[in-house]
Amino acid sequence: MTEAVTFVILGASGDLTERLLLPGLGTLLATDPEREVTLIGVGRSEKPEEAWRDLVRESLGRGECGRTQLERVAESSRWVQVSAYDGDDVAELLGDLDGPVVLYFALPPTATEAAVKALRGRDLPKDLRLALDKPFGHDYASAQELNRLITDVVGEEQVFRVDHFLGRNTVLNLLGVRFANHIFEPVWRADHIDSIEIIADEVLALEGRAGYYDGAGALIDMLQSHLLLVLSLVALSEPARLDANELHNLMLHTLRSTHVFGDDPVANSRRGRYTAGTVEGKEIGAYVDEDGVDPDRGTETLAEVVLEIRNQRWAGVPITLRSGKALDGKRSHVVVRFKEVRHLPEGLDGKTSANVLTIGMTPHRIGLDVSTNTGNDRLSLSTTHLDADLGDSDLRPYGEILGRIFDNDHLLSVRGDVAEECWRVLEPVICAWREGKVPLRDYPAGSDPDHC
Ligand SMILES: NC(=O)c1ccc[n+]([C@@H]2O[C@H](COP(=O)([O-])OP(=O)(O)OC[C@H]3O[C@@H](n4cnc5c(N)ncnc54)[C@H](OP(=O)(O)O)[C@@H]3O)[C@@H](O)[C@H]2O)c1
């Protein structure tokens, strides 16, 4: 039996709640019908109870939640009009609830910081858990400051930092592929691996998200959190067991050895911004003409950084992280390129190619390029691509993550020091870009990211 929890969402009238949190919760309830969750939405404005319950019904339903559970959660759910900035009111609300209570900050980052600050020195329930969505700070110093602030309010063991990439079964699959396959783990090192790419390219443009995105850009929105966490799992040393402490220690250990390749952010990073173009047959306007964008900010919509991990296992292997908007295709995968064989027997000819392992994050696939003898000429080589569809999980990433938080399991949350280290790794790039040392290049929407 799982423990009954009260789930309080601050900023519940926002996009995250409607589009991701509640549908994710819907999938959790669908896969675990016995789970008991009392839901409370909190916001500054008044909302009729029925309007809130209708929103809950509709959003949970998008997560394929069954009718009975959906009605149970919606009917017991309520809306509370309180400002997240008013620490007394929030503490009073929390004090009246049955525990354990999960308090989710579904607020813009600056509001989250102010709301956490407002809870300092208040009398809070002992079994309170705080859940905060990324970004965790806006640079290394502010991430440290935010962590100090949070741990002034509750202990780190009560904090769950949420990066939904860690809730993707495809990301966790990296651990299975690596550690449960004899053909991979022994060669998972610089002696055998030539390079690694971790890519999250989108065909989507801004889609009305200027309010958040124009202040962040691709580097901070995607590389600084999601892709660096994926990198820490790709390059992880072998855990003795998969518990939160062990996993977070090893992620931190990997990140602490991670640096911009050659300590040269100018040569090893690039940034771009889309101009008008065509993506999948659809006309897309220039980023600078989108509503709410300030062109003078110079926000990038494509970011690429090459990193290296300075340890025995990985030194010298370039690891490229890249993400961009309005590109010619959606790609969300990890590509591991192995080295060419050292020698080919005489008489075996044709085109050899290095083995390439592709682990798809969306869709969930795995592919491997191998050199084989094919066709009529038995001594002639070519590349064969093996590919398997691993199927999607019934649980959406936010469902997976909420389930862990409700169970008080930190495995898929981001520990404070890991969050800080992600900022530390990219700090030289952020500085170089801020100082204008890396040009912001235009690329027409629909471009191939390798040639723009
Ligand atoms: N949306 C996404 O796709 C997404 C994805 C990943 C992570 N996140 C993260 O999730 C968090 C919430 O994102 P969101 O898109 O839901 O944000 P949002 O829609 O901009 O804001 C959420 C709610 O916060 C309250 N709010 C807004 N500005 C405020 C202010 N200055 N002071 C106090 N309250 C304020 C509003 O509720 P009331 O007016 O009712 O109080 C608003 O409905 C952010 O940290 C974001 O980075 C979002």
Dump pLDDT digits (tens) for 92-138.
Answer: 999 999 879 999 999 999 999 999 999 999 999 999 999 999 999 99
Does residue 250 sit in the same domain as residue 303?
yes
Number of domains in the chain: 2
Is there a domain that residue 33 lies in? yes
Does residue 188 sit in the same domain as residue 311?
yes
Domain end, chosen from 133, 152, 186, is at 133
Does residue 181 sit in the same domain as residue 239?
yes
Is there a domain that residue 291 lies in? yes
Residue 366: pLDDT band (50, 70, 90) is very high
Strand, coil or helix: 173: helix
Strand, coil or helix: 356: strand
Averaged pLDDT for residues 346-358: 85
Does residue 305 sit in the same domain as residue 234?
yes
**What is the DSSP secondary structure assignment for residue 362, as one 8-state letter?**
S
Closest atom of ligand 1 to 211 CA is 20
**Beta carbons within 8 Å of 202's beta carbon, 6+ residues apart:** 323, 324, 325, 326, 327, 330
Kindly give the distance from the C-alpha atom of residue 13 to the centroid of ligand 1, in angstroms, as a whole number.
8
pLDDT given at position 170: 79
Region of poorest pLDDT, from 14-18, 67-71, 431-435, 438-442: 67-71
pLDDT given at position 347: 82
Contact residues of ligand 1, CB 6 A cut-off: 11, 13-16, 20, 43-45, 84, 106-109, 111-112, 133-135, 212
Closest atom of ligand 1 to 162 CA is 7
Is there a domain that residue 88 lies in? yes
**Radius of gyration for the alpha carbons in the chain, expressed in angstroms and rounded:** 23
Is a pLDDT exceeding 90 seen at residue 386?
A: yes
Pocket test for ligand 1, best of 22, 107, 229, 398 (most atoms within 8 A of CB): 107
Q: Provide, rounded to the nearest whole percent, the portion of the chain with pLDDT above 70.
A: 100
Please check whether residue 169 is in contact with residue 364, taking contact to mean a CB–CB distance below 8 angstroms.
Answer: yes
Domain of 104, in residue numbers: 5-133
Does residue 57 sit in the same domain as residue 182?
no
Please check whether residue 400 is in contact with residue 412, taking contact to mean a CB–CB distance below 8 angstroms.
Answer: yes
Domain end, chosen from 133, 152, 184, is at 133
Q: Which two structure tokens, joined as six digits, stand for 158?
A: 């009560």
pLDDT given at position 344: 86
pLDDT in tens, 280-292: 999 999 999 999 9
Does residue 210 sit in the same domain as residue 86?
no
Kindly report the CATH number assigned to the domain that includes residue 13.
3.40.50.720
Is a pLDDT exceeding 80 seen at residue 381?
A: yes
Is there a domain that residue 149 lies in? no
Residue 393: pLDDT band (50, 70, 90) is confident
pLDDT given at position 127: 93
Kindly give the distance from the C-alpha atom of residue 405 to the centroid of ligand 1, in angstroms, as a whole number.
20
Kindly give the distance from the C-alpha atom of residue 401 to the centroid of ligand 1, in angstroms, as a whole number.
19
Is a pLDDT exceeding 80 seen at residue 51?
A: yes
Does residue 260 sit in the same domain as residue 123?
no
Beta-strand (E) ranges in 30-86? 37-43, 78-81
Averaged pLDDT for residues 57-74: 88
Give the residue among 140, 133, 138, 96 at the shortest CA–CA distance from 115: 133
Kindly give the distance from the C-alpha atom of residue 101 to the centroid of ligand 1, in angstroms, as a whole number.
20
pLDDT in tens, 308-320: 999 999 999 999 9
pLDDT given at position 374: 73
Kindly report the CATH number assigned to the domain that includes residue 359.
3.30.360.10
Does residue 255 sit in the same domain as residue 110?
no
Paired strand residues for 40: 8, 78
Angle between helix 22-31 and 397-406 (nearest 10): 70
Kindly give the distance from the C-alpha atom of residue 17 to the centroid of ligand 1, in angstroms, as a whole number.
8
Is there a domain that residue 399 lies in? no
Is there a domain that residue 79 lies in? yes
Q: Whose CA is nearest to atom 33 of ligand 1?
A: 111
Residue 350: pLDDT band (50, 70, 90) is confident
Please check whether residue 38 is in contact with residue 77, taking contact to mean a CB–CB distance below 8 angstroms.
Answer: yes
Q: Whose CA is nearest to atom 13 of ligand 1?
A: 16
Angle between helix 22-31 and 49-62 (nearest 10): 60
Does residue 239 sit in the same domain as residue 341?
yes
pLDDT given at position 68: 87
Averaged pLDDT for residues 160-169: 93
**Beta carbons within 8 Å of 302's beta carbon, 6+ residues apart:** 218, 270, 271, 272, 273, 274, 322, 323, 324, 325, 327, 443, 449, 452
pLDDT in tens, 213-242: 999 999 999 999 999 999 999 999 999 999
pLDDT given at position 307: 98
Kindly give the distance from the C-alpha atom of residue 9 to the centroid of ligand 1, in angstroms, as a whole number.
11
Does residue 303 sit in the same domain as residue 440?
yes
How far, in Å, CA of 216 to CA of 138, rounded?
8
Kindly give the distance from the C-alpha atom of residue 74 to the centroid of ligand 1, in angstroms, as a whole number.
22
**What is the DSSP secondary structure assignment for residue 157, as one 8-state letter?**
G
Q: 133 phi and psi, to 5 degrees?
A: -85, 160
Does residue 235 sit in the same domain as residue 344?
yes
pLDDT given at position 377: 75
**What is the DSSP secondary structure assignment for residue 416, as one 8-state letter?**
H
Averaged pLDDT for residues 152-170: 94
**What is the DSSP secondary structure assignment for residue 168, as one 8-state letter?**
-
- The highest-confidence range among 32-36, 87-91, 165-169, 239-243, by mean pLDDT, is 87-91
Domain end, chosen from 133, 151, 178, is at 133
Kindly give the distance from the C-alpha atom of residue 133 to the centroid of ligand 1, in angstroms, as a whole number.
10
pLDDT given at position 204: 96
Does residue 31 sit in the same domain as residue 128?
yes
pLDDT given at position 101: 97
Residue length, the chain?
Answer: 452
Pocket test for ligand 1, best of 16, 17, 112, 207 (most atoms within 8 A of CB): 16
Count of Cβ atoms closer than 10 Å to residue 44 Cβ: 14
Is a pLDDT exceeding 90 seen at residue 379?
A: no
Pairing of strands 380-389, 349-350: parallel
Q: Whose CA is nearest to atom 43 of ligand 1?
A: 14
Q: Which two structure tokens, joined as six digits, stand for 223?
A: 């590389």
| Mean pLDDT, rounded, of the chain | 94
Pocket test for ligand 1, best of 15, 214, 325 (most atoms within 8 A of CB): 15
Is there a domain that residue 436 lies in? yes
**DSSP annotation string for 228-286:** HHHHHHHTPPPPSS--HHHHHHHHHHHHHTEEEGGG-TTTTEEEEEEESEEETTEEE--
pLDDT given at position 145: 96
pLDDT given at position 105: 98
Is there a domain that residue 157 lies in? no
Averaged pLDDT for residues 268-284: 97
